[in-house]
Amino acid sequence: MSKFKKDKVLPRYLTIAVLLTLIGVAVVFKAGYTMTAKKSYWETVANKLKSDSDSVRPNRGNILSCDGQLLASSIPEYKIFMDYQAGGNSDTAWVRKRDSIWYADLDSLCRGLSVIFPGRSADEFKARLEEGKHKVLSNGSVGARHWAVWPRRISYNTYREVQQLPFFNLPTHKGGFHAEKFEARRRPFGSLAERTIGDIRSFEGGKDTARFGIELSYDSILRGKCGIERKQKVLNKVVPFTVTPPVDGSDIVTTIDVGMQDLAEQALIEGLKKWDASMGVTILMEVKTGDVKAIVNMRRSDNGEYYERFNDAISYRCEPGSVFKVASFLVALDDGVVDTSYVIHTGCGIMKMHGANMKDHNWHRGGYGDINVARALEVSSNIGVSYVIDNFYGSNPTKYVEGLYRVGIGQDLKLPIVGYLPPKIRMPDTKTTNKALYWSKTTLPWMSIGYETQIAPINTVTFYNAIANNGRMMRPRFVKGFMKDGQMVYETQPEVIKEQIAKPQTIATMQTVLRHVVSQGLGKKAGSHSFQVSGKTGTAQVAKAGGYKTGTVEYWLSFCGYFPSDDPRYTCIVCIKKSGLPASGGLMSGGIFHHISEGVMAKSLKLSVEDARDSLSVFVPEVKKGDNAAASYVLNTLGVKGGTDDAEQPVYGEKQMPSVVGMGARDAVYCLESRGVKARIHGTGHVKRQDIAPGTALSRGMVCNLELN
């Protein structure tokens, strides 16, 4: 073991300790020197070298129709500004150069702006720009930092034009010209289904907010996710680079059919104008899937024109009127308390019910007398429906109301569209102090015919759609799926709310009754000569100001049905609101329904070629003699046999004169000259006679005269 040499090791440790101490003192001295003497220098460097992170907005997704047509899309819009202090505000070489360029280019700049924006002259632009340049800010500096060049938003193409003007074409950090980007929503089909598609509103700073409809309900899917962009500033250069790329929003494929939507909208507007109505709603739904193919909401404005202002189809709860009678009788039939042959004594059209008069619409003509349940629906007898419900459910009205919920007329559809209001069908309650909720003896009979309830049109059409669908109730579907880069990434499925709203035999009975309502009842105007229609009319009085007796009475007229009756494809409801008489749901709403149903069926009609053929004509076309290669190809492609008569003619060799009788001039000349025979044509049409007999031996220089007729 070696002996520790103290005299050699300790001096080495001492040397190292002294050296480290000197280094530490030097570091502290340098730090202090930097913090004091060099403070201003390093602050200047820090200001020239800084990193900022900005949010990068994604592209908002499009909204498409069921067949891929564009219903709503985003386009950029810009507001343009000037920063008169860009590049600094002190007396530097660049600032002096910038000001000299400004005054040199100002006149040409203003002329260019006047050309792009004809609404303002060059002198007005010059005064506006000079005002911003000499504006004194609160901090004492001269020159506005965010001075609007033009007060309104401009398109991208216009922005690019402005950007090319003198001085404005300088870099932003030098010249000061800059813009704020906004996202504008555009609908190629204008106001078509406006309240259902929705809209967005852009605010200052480029922020956009969805307002209503699908735009609002699916805002998170359409919006996407913002990215992060970092701008690295080194001296006078700004270098942007993406930290997190933005994720663009998904496209939404709706169930709306543009053709059906346009058809329904035009039919409704024409009907509203014809009957001087103030409001109208139409919903067209596909029976098997519940897909909403068209939804129209129109209200009359002060100028007399009709516009979509509210989504009344899903939010306007009102007393539905006689279309509700179907639900009342469906409950009674399903409970087995009556059948369609049950006879009701309606008398002269007026019946006392708990001290109040129940009237049929034809009471002044003597009423309907004795009618059965089926006929009561066909003629929409108030007495017929209310008598049955009051007679069999008067002692237990809760059972009736529970039946309404069972058949689905009171179902909360839980629609994804913002603004939907579920039905209000109240349960019997005689203890409440709220007059609107109090259950009196007259409540049940009047509720049975569509009063004292609040139901939006979307619930009524969904209920009728379930009857058309053999009892299966489908949730109304507005969105079919979501697309990304042209590929469907998620597809919604038709959703069943109730597998069976009533017994199958009850549904079948009601289907028959609804068919008779149109074929031999009050719904004849909704029918068609081309296919059968099933449905029910509705006319309800709606009190305006002052109540039913003292105020103005308006009418809520409706027709709800489906078509074609034997194999239902679509269910449709038409509601209109008007003041004064005449007022008839069958005539007015039913007439609009008629135009919509026939238009929809005509669009989907596929005719066979057999339907276009005259039964007296010859189906096999006649093909003249000649070069029949092309004609044979066409006939074979079409699957037509026969048609040519070449087989009946004798075949001549290449050295013999062929027969060209019956050919057209072109084929005849080609046939002869291909064998070395010169043809001379006399007349027009087809060859009637040739002066060289067929089969004659051909010789050089032979000339054949052809007589055409």
Which helix (H) or strand (E) element contains residue 274?
helix 258-274
- Residue 440 pLDDT more than 70? yes
| Higher-scoring residue by pLDDT: 320, 38 | 320
**From residue 534, how far is each of 286, 287, 461 by CA, in Å?**
15, 13, 13
Sign of the CA dihedral with 375 first, then 380, 385, and 386 last: negative
Angle at which helix 457-468 crosses helix 504-520, to 10 degrees, equals 110
- Going from the C-alpha of 56 to that of each of 69, 224, 226, the distances in angstroms are 28, 11, 5
Per-residue DSSP letters for 615-650? Answer: TTS-SSPPB-SS--HHHHHHHHHHT----B-GGGSP
Q: Looking at per-residue confidence, does 22 or 38 come out higher?
A: 22
Sheet order of strands, 306-307 included: 306-307, 292-300, 279-286, 570-579, 553-563, 534-543
Q: Virtual CA dihedral for 514, 520, 522, 523, nearest 10 degrees?
A: 60
648 or 107: whose pLDDT is higher?
107
Determine the angle formed by the axes of helices 122-133 and 93-116, rounding to 10 degrees: 150
Looking at residue 621, its pLDDT comes to 60
Looking at residues 143-171, what average pLDDT do you find? 88
Contacts of 618 (CB under 8 A, 6+ apart): none
Task: For residue 324, give the DSSP letter.
Answer: G
pTM of the entire structure?
A: 0.72
53 pLDDT band, cuts 50/70/90, is: low
The pLDDT of residue 623 is 61
Model pLDDT, residue 47: 60
Amino acid at 71: L
The bridge status of strand 678-682 relative to strand 703-708 is parallel
Query: Once rounded to an integer, what is the mean pLDDT over residues 119-126?
Result: 90
Cα–Cα dist 486/499, whole Å: 35
What is the per-residue pLDDT for 372?
93
The mean pLDDT value for 536-542 works out to 90
Q: What pLDDT shows up at residue 34?
A: 81
Pick the more confident residue, 617 or 124: 124
Reading the block at residue 510, the tokens are 């009601």
Strand order from edge to edge, sheet including 227-234? 49-56, 227-234, 237-244
Region 598-606: what's the mean pLDDT? 82
Structure confidence at residue 614 (pLDDT): 52
Using 50, 70 and 90 to split pLDDT, how confident is the model at 48?
Answer: low
Q: What is the pLDDT of residues 349-380, one digit of tens each?
A: 999 998 899 999 888 888 899 999 999 999 99
- Peptide bond preceding 582 in cis form (omega within 30 of 0): yes
Average pLDDT over residues 162-178: 86
Q: DSSP class of residue 586?
A: I
**Which residue has better confidence, 670 or 389?**
389
pLDDT recorded at residue 646: 46
Stretch 186-212: mean pLDDT: 77
- Whether the per-residue pLDDT at 309 is higher than 50: the answer is yes
- Are residues 560 and 536 in contact, defined by beta-carbon separation less than 8 angstroms? yes
Q: What percent of the chain has pLDDT over 70?
A: 86
pLDDT of residue 246: 84
Residue 117 scores a pLDDT above 50: yes
Closest CA to 64 of 263, 259, 197, 190: 197
pLDDT at position 597, please?
A: 95
Q: Which two tokens stand for residue 223?
A: 């919006």
Whole-number pLDDT of residue 432: 73
Residue 317 binned pLDDT confidence (cut-offs 50, 70, 90): very high
Q: How large a percentage of the chain has pLDDT more than 90?
A: 47
Q: How confident is the model at residue 534 (pLDDT cuts 50, 70, 90)?
A: very high
Is the pLDDT assigned to residue 709 strictly greater than 80?
no
How far apart are alpha carbons 306 and 680 in whole angstroms? 73
- For 176, which DSSP code? -
Beta-strand pair 251-254/63-64: parallel
Per-residue pLDDT, 33: 82
Return d(Cα 687, Cα 673) in angstroms, integer: 15
Side chain identity, residue 120: R
Whether residue 561 is predicted with pLDDT greater than 80 in this model: the reply is yes
Give pLDDT, residue 538.
93
- Ramachandran sector of residue 257 (left: φ over 0; alpha: ψ -120 to 50; beta: rest): beta
- Residues 704-708, mean pLDDT to the nearest whole number: 85
Amino acid at 149: V
Q: What is the pLDDT of residues 216-233, one digit of tens each?
A: 999 889 988 888 877 666
Q: Quote the crossing angle between the two packed helices 325-335 and 397-407, to the nearest 10°.
A: 110
Q: How many angstroms separate the CA atoms of 129 and 344, rounded?
A: 85
Strand partners for 681: 706
Q: 180 with 81: CB under 8 angstroms?
A: yes
Q: Are 597 and 563 in contact (CB under 8 A)?
A: yes
In this prediction, residue 91 has a pLDDT band, given cuts at 50, 70 and 90, of: low
Rounded-to-10 torsion of CA 660, 666, 672, 678: 120
Q: 124 phi and psi, to 5 degrees?
A: -65, -40
Give dist(CA 630, CA 637) in Å, integer.
Answer: 11
**What residue has token string 């009842």?**
521
**Can you give the pLDDT at residue 192?**
86
Q: Give the tokens for residue 124.
A: 């007005």
3-state secondary structure of 75: strand
Q: Which residues lie across from 237 on neighbouring strands?
A: 234
**Angle formed by the axes of helices 325-335 and 504-520, nearest 10°:** 140
- DSSP letters of 504-555? HHHHHHHHHHHHHHHHHSTTGGG--SSS--EEEEEEEEEE-TTHHHHS-EEE
